[in-house]
Amino acid sequence: MRRIGSVGSSVVAAACVAVAALAPLARADEGAGKAVFEKSCKACHSIAGEGGKMAQLGGPLDGVGATHDAAWFRKYIEDPKAMKADAKMPKVKLTEQELADIVAYLGTLKTPAK
């Protein structure tokens, strides 16, 4: 059996870390996305008339799933001002999984406010 030297084992370890980093996230979960909304978005946004203290600032999200796709949501949430120069929304720090989940949830919001 051939031994791997310290450089070789470092390369193998680095490759394992790289593969782990590329591993797909768990599937986006709309239910978990709703929880992300409640925790991170509801203060400034509303859905079906229910929102936080500053819901007028961010406005309603009813119907956004009918007007934007997942790629747009992802880019906008990651850097609102890059998508819309006059955006009032700050960058929101979310994990990759939280971002995937909130994007999935927003995509379900197809019905406009009544």
CA nearest neighbour of 112 among 66, 72, 58: 66
> What tokens appear for 71 in the block?
């790629």
- What are the tens digits of pLDDT across the range 77-110? 999 999 999 999 999 999 999 999 999 999 999 9
Residue 12 has pLDDT above 70, yes or no: no
| pLDDT value of position 1 | 53
Residue located via tokens 């961010």: 58
What domains lie within the chain, and their CATH numbers? 27-107 (1.10.760.10)
Q: Is 6 left (phi over 0), alpha (psi -120 to 50) or beta?
A: alpha
113 — pLDDT class (breaks 50, 70, 90): confident
Q: What is the pTM of this model?
A: 0.76
How far apart CA 62 and CA 16 sit, in angstroms, is 43
Q: Residue 35 has which token pair?
A: 């929880």
